[in-house]
Amino acid sequence: MAGIYRSINNLLKRAEAEGRSHLLEPEVYSIFKQIGLRVPKFIYISSEKWPDPEKLKQLRTSEVVIKVVSPLILHKTDVGGVRFVPNRWKEVKQNLMEMRETVPQRWVEWARSQRGAAEISVFDETKVRDSIRGFLIIEKVNYERIGWGEELLLGLKQTHDFGPIITIGFGGIDVEYISRRLKEDQALGFFSPYLSGRAKIASELTGLAFYEKLAKGPRGGKPVIDMMKLVEAMEKLGRLARYFSALQPGSGFVLEELEANPLVIAHGSLMPLDGLVRFSRKKELRLRPPVEKLTHLLLPRSIGLIGVSERMNLGHIILNNILEAGFPREKVFIVKPGAESIEGCRCFPSIAALPEAVDLFVYALPADQVYSCLESLIKEEKAHSMIIIAGGLGEKSGTQEEERRIRELLATARKEGRLAPVVNGANSLGIISRPGHYDTTFIPEYKFPRRREGEPGLIFISQSGAFMITRLNKSPWLSPEMAISIGNQIDLTVADYLEYFSRTEAGNSKVFALYLEGLREGDGIILARAASRLIKAGSKIIVYKGGRTPQGRLATSSHTASVAGDYSIFKALLKQQRIYVAETLAEFELGMKALYFLKDKKPRGSRVALMSNAGFECVIMADHIFPDGVLRLAEWSTKTREKLLKALSPLGIDRLQDIRNPLDLTPIADDRAFSACVEAVLDDPGVDCAVISPVPMTPALKTLQAIDHGEDFREATSLASRLVELFQKSPKPFVVSLDAGSLYDPLADYLESQRLPVFRRVDEALLFLEKFVRL
């Protein structure tokens, strides 16, 4: 393959020497051929010449396609730059004359109409005419005609966070229209050459809308193509993408976009009829921080602070929180000229006067002093890690230069082998580390009560500190081992943290909850690989992504770039790594809590038992067992049916309802009968998981606190108590739905305090369980 890459590299050099960042279509065909795709037969003529009649005959088709070749005219069809004409010399010549005359004018009109969506500065018809290098005259390919699915798109898009992405889906000029109207995960497939091998590509293709038609043929006829040919083409494109990637050394060029559209099937082979390539020069990658130093940050033996006043201020609140979390006073050092001690911690007049290089240094001064403080820490070699609380850096206009200087300072120190801290922030709310016995957040305890004890198993990493504490405040039964507000990732990124956890004992937690807004260059690959290692070790990861629809994007030159949205790619690639991607805030909150409570349970399969005492809930639950979903209704064994009948017949419920799944127990079912039925279905070997949904208003169930009505849901024989026992005893995961108002909040709180995952709507419970089983 090295020879092929050298040839393509030379092709890009020649184009660059001509001042182009796009390849012309004959050059694109050359790349297609070099990666193993068949291309149509064609002849190329310069802009002022006419085709040789003998060469036209060699195309051997009664009709040919004429395409304009210009580095400026990319959307040829929109401006009359593509024509189908009879393969006769006079007709070809006549159409060439007309295209030379009309295409420049039509392009100017089109460009003006697109001005609001694109940066187009050339509206001069003469410049457009001068840009025309020539014309391609191509045989009209006779390909498989099967309706939708006969034209595909195979593309490459360079992304900031994941590097090169291979896109496959419906093609043709209506690709955007089709993609908008199909289910998102069926219209297009996204694959990373760094994450997806042959087996994963083949597996993921089966879920795309075009697959069955090509693999089985129209109306169940014979296959149109051996699908492994498509897999092989994607593999070859992936290898090319990795070589010309922005994320690795090698070629000095980056393939920003490459597209074969439409890609058709002719005589059992894949053939691109049209193509596009856009390239750029590789930029220097940032020097990643040494993630092994995160041990100093998360498990420090000493802490330094700057910005602490003797009166109560932000820095003083941080100091109090550090001490409240149990960090020893004698290992907390404060940079404070003119003071002996604050809260029993020693003060020092300057950074240079600190008694040792601290593991963690917390900066709580205004943003305009960050650079000088960091410069002193590096010069005096006084810190292994740093948290910058100050906001504004890189966010407020005019501060980007200061952020760049800080990054350059860190990179220079690291290259020179000096002690430079790994930096969390800026604009960080701080970090809570239970194993590190510290809390550097600046929210006082009375405004944000913390649980400083509890069962381990959760690590929360958030780009937004406010997001982190609001979610935790709404989930009082969660007690994360670490809650990390990373701010705007001036140095350390969410990918660095996940990389660290995936390679150390600190990553033994079972659940990782991530809130992301943006990723630094290449972080998507690092994050996905680290997540894969954690998941293989038994962890679960849930992600909520903010900033999904950035506005003001420039018009793209290819369909691939326009249909492959950043969030769609993000979601598809993370799902391929078995990461739980939450679509809403509510789903993230509920999913995080449920994953934490279910961290020690794993479904053996997808056979689900559904149970309620309300008919409407049974209907809704059944509605959420989708034909193309993962969950399947479990079938009761003979023994289970006998147990169910035994539990229900004393109340006459067996005469009101059939014994089936979903199981409608009716409002007559009391605590004993309901509990017995739950136990029976959980004992059934044909059941892998369950949704238990008691509507609590029925007088038959004890669902209220003991006040003056004779009920007490804490009684040993109540359904609530029995659900707790069964949850602790059964290895099978189940979730509880409690669809009721605030009167029943104490019941929900009690179940959650006993680590049962509780949802307040049954559809939310089913949505979670569907995704949980996929993990």
Tell me the Ramachandran region of residue 45: left when phi exceeds 0, alpha when psi lies from -120 to 50, beta otherwise.
beta
Q: How would you write 188-247 as a 3-class SS string? A: EEEECCCCCCHHHHHHHHCCCCCHHHHHHCHHHCCCCCCHHHHHHHHHHHHHHHHHCCCC
Residue type, 670: D
Domain range annotation of the chain:
41-139, 152-281, 291-520, 607-774
Q: Is the dihedral of CA 347, 351, 352, 354 positive or negative?
A: positive
Domain covering 607-774 assigned CATH 3.40.50.261 in the classification: yes
Q: What pLDDT sits at residue 557? A: 44
Residue type, 198: R
Taking a C-beta distance cutoff of 8 angstroms, is the pair 170, 209 a contact? yes
The band of 179, judged by pLDDT with boundaries at 50, 70 and 90, is low
User: 505-510: which pairs have CB atoms within 8 A and are 24 or more residues apart?
Assistant: 506/295, 506/298, 506/299, 506/435, 507/534, 507/537, 507/539, 508/537, 509/456, 509/457, 509/458, 509/459, 509/481, 509/539, 510/457, 510/458, 510/538, 510/539, 510/540, 510/596, 510/599, 510/600
Q: Does position 582 have pLDDT exceeding 70, yes or no?
A: yes
CATH number corresponding to 152-281? 3.30.470.20
- DSSP annotation string for 503-523: HSGGGG-SEEEEEES---TTH
- DSSP annotation string for 106-167: HHHHHHHHTTTTS------HHHHHHH--EEEEEE-------STTSSEEEEEEEETTTEEEEE
The band of 578, judged by pLDDT with boundaries at 50, 70 and 90, is very high
Tokens of 407: 């990054």
As a whole-number percent, the residues of the chain with pLDDT over 70 amount to: 93
Structure confidence by residue, pLDDT tens digits, 533-572: 999 999 999 999 988 765 433 333 443 344 444 888 999 9
372 CB burial (10 A radius; 0-12, 13-18, 19+): exposed
Structure confidence by residue, pLDDT tens digits, 384-397: 999 999 877 766 66
Judged by DSSP in three states, 332 sits in strand
Class of domain 291-520: alpha beta
Residues paired with 193 in a beta bridge? none
Q: How far apart are the first and last CA of the chain?
A: 37
Structure confidence by residue, pLDDT tens digits, 147-158: 777 889 999 999
Q: Does position 613 have pLDDT exceeding 90, yes or no?
A: yes
Q: What is the mean pLDDT of residues 234-263?
A: 91
Structure confidence by residue, pLDDT tens digits, 668-699: 999 999 999 999 999 999 999 999 999 999 99
CA dist., res. 52 & res. 16, Å (int): 30
Tokens of 331: 């290992």
- DSSP annotation string for 643-684: HHHHHHGGGTGGGTS-S-SSEE-TTT--HHHHHHHHHHHHH-
Q: Residue 25: name the closest of 64, 71, 63 by CA.
A: 71
- Angstrom CA distances, 589 to 427, 476, 582, stand at 23, 12, 9
Within this chain, domains 291-520 and 607-774 share the same CATH topology:
yes
CA dist., res. 459 & res. 512, Å (int): 5
CA dist., res. 641 & res. 677, Å (int): 10
| CB hemisphere CA count around 351 (13 angstroms) | 21
- Residue with the larger pLDDT of the pair 593 and 72: 593
Q: Residue 534: name the closest of 580, 472, 566, 569 by CA.
A: 580
The band of 121, judged by pLDDT with boundaries at 50, 70 and 90, is low
Structure confidence by residue, pLDDT tens digits, 708-759: 678 999 999 999 999 999 999 999 999 999 999 999 999 999 999 999 999 9
Q: What pLDDT sits at residue 564? A: 42
The band of 171, judged by pLDDT with boundaries at 50, 70 and 90, is confident
Judged by DSSP in three states, 621 sits in helix
CA dist., res. 572 & res. 190, Å (int): 6
Q: Is the dihedral of CA 190, 194, 195, 200 positive or negative?
A: positive
Q: Does position 130 have pLDDT exceeding 50, yes or no?
A: yes
Structure confidence by residue, pLDDT tens digits, 341-371: 999 999 999 999 999 999 999 999 999 999 9
CA dist., res. 261 & res. 385, Å (int): 50
Structure confidence by residue, pLDDT tens digits, 421-470: 999 999 999 999 999 999 999 999 999 998 888 788 999 999 999 999 99
Mean of the per-residue pLDDT values of the chain: 91
DSSP state of 366: -
Q: What pLDDT sits at residue 394? A: 62
CA dist., res. 182 & res. 197, Å (int): 26
DSSP state of 383: B
Q: What is the mean pLDDT of residues 235-247?
A: 94
